[in-house]
């Protein structure tokens, strides 16, 4: 497979731009505000377009708001770069293929969930529905109706499975065990990976969340823990390492 350096650079820049767009959606959509203008968290001044160029503006403004001079978080810039890197990697690993398109979807969804779940404790329905539809259409185009139907059923099975776990968890712990958003996200896992690999990715996601959950419940009075970012990272890991994981499953079962 021939890998073209210009395509890699183009995808890296596209990824950074999409990271930025996803960041705005994740920050603004939960507030149900009509205007999507970007403003400073601290002084509320609206930024001009040239103060918003991902990474470039941050460096030129030395990481400060140009109006109130307060320090701006580097986390969002990091997520922009991560988005760019994952876009470029999707092409380097898979070339132009179905897998590459899925990795782009996973990247977009991850950035959205990292921000909205950590900041507002929610997983947005709209992007999840849109990406689920795109994913199922891609399954139909690349693999035909049978695979499409199996994917839909797998999603529904995982949804019901997680719903039952939630009911049991709620009874056992006498409080909400798994958030509604996490259950809807798990359905997306089923669409993407099928039943068996979805369960593996949910287990990996839970393991990733465990240290954070322990630390968080000790240091915080708020009982809500954002599981979405860990779950989608688990999905990412299983998607990228699908072949070795399948081989291990084959040997074990």
Shortest Cβ distance from residue 185 to Zn ion (Å)? 33
Decide: is 43 part of the binding site for Zn ion (CB under 5 A).
yes
Which residues in 47-66 contact Zn ion (CB under 5 A)? 65
Does residue 197 interact with Zn ion by CB under 5 A? no
72 binds Zn ion (CB under 5 A): no
Rule CB under 5 A: choose which of 3, 36, 39, 42 binds Zn ion: 42
Q: Least distance (Å) from Zn ion to the CB of residue 83?
A: 24
- 39 vs 220 by CB, closer to Zn ion: 39
Look up residue 10 and give its two tokens: 């183009």
Give the C-alpha separation, 84 to 100, whole Å. Answer: 14
10, 51, 67, 225: residue in contact with Zn ion (rule CB under 5 A) = 67
Number of residues interacting with Zn ion: please give it, by CB under 5 A. Answer: 6
The CA-atom distances, in angstroms, between 251 and each of 194, 202, 242 are 19, 21, 14
- Print the binding letters for residues 76-115 with Zn ion: x by CB under 5 A, - otherwise: ----------------------------------------
Bridge partner list, 238: none
Shorter beta-carbon distance to Zn ion: residue 30 or 66:
66
In the bound state with Zn ion, the residue whose beta carbon lies nearer, of 68 and 214, is: 68
CA distances from 123 to 26, 119, 148 (A): 9, 10, 25
What gap in Å lies between CA 87 and CA 94, rounded to an integer? 11
Q: Is 37 in the site for Zn ion (CB under 5 A)?
A: no
Of the pair 72, 103, the CB lying nearest Zn ion is at: 72
Answer yes or no: are the C-beta atoms of 187 and 158 closer than 8 Å: yes
Q: Which of 99, 183, 197, 94 is nearest to 151 (CA)?
A: 197
**Residues whose CB is less than 8 angstroms from the CB of residue 17 and which lie 6 or more positions away in sequence, other chains included:** 54
- Judged by CB under 5 A, the stretch of 9-17, 41-49, 110-118, 220-228 that binds Zn ion is 41-49
Q: CA angle at residue 217 from 226 to 173, to 5 degrees?
A: 85
In the complex, minimum distance from the CB of residue 33 to Zn ion, in angstroms, rounded to a whole number: 18
| Residues present in the chain in total | 253
Nearer to Zn ion, 69 or 196 (CB): 69
List residues bridging with 71 in a β-sheet. 64
Q: Is 40 in the site for Zn ion (CB under 5 A)?
A: yes
Candidates 200, 159, 165; CA nearest to 181 is 159
128 binds Zn ion (CB under 5 A): no
Q: What is the DSSP letter of 53?
A: S
Query: Is 231 near Zn ion (CB under 5 A)?
Result: no
Interacting residues with Zn ion (CB under 5 A) = 40, 42-43, 65, 67-68
């Amino acid at each position: 497979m021939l890998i073209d350096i210009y395509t890699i650079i183009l995808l890296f820049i596209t990824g950074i731009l999409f990271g930025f767009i996803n960041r705005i959606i994740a920050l603004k959509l939960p507030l149900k505000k009509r205007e999507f203008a970007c403003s400073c968290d601290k002084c509320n001044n609206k930024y001009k377009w040239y103060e918003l160029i991902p990474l470039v503006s941050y460096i030129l403004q030395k990481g400060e708001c140009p109006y109130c001079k307060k320090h701006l978080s580097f986390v969002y810039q990091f997520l922009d770069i991560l988005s760019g890197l994952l876009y470029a990697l999707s092409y380097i690993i898979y070339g132009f293929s179905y897998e590459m398109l899925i990795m782009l979807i996973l990247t977009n969804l991850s950035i959205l969930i990292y921000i909205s779940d950590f900041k507002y404790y929610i997983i947005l329905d709209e992007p999840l529905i849109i990406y689920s539809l795109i994913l199922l259409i891609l399954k139909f185009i690349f693999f035909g109706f049978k695979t499409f139907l199996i994917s839909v059923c797998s999603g529904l099975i995982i949804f019901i499975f997680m719903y039952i776990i939630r009911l049991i968890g709620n009874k056992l712990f006498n409080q909400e065990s798994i958030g509604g958003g996490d259950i809807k996200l798990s359905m997306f896992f089923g669409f993407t990976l099928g039943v068996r690999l979805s369960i593996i990715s949910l287990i990996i996601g839970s393991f990733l969340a465990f240290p954070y959950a322990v630390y968080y419940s000790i240091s915080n009075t708020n009982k809500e823990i954002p599981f979405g970012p860990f779950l989608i990272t688990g999905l990412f890991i299983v998607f990228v390492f699908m072949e070795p994981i399948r081989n291990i499953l084959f040997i074990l079962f």
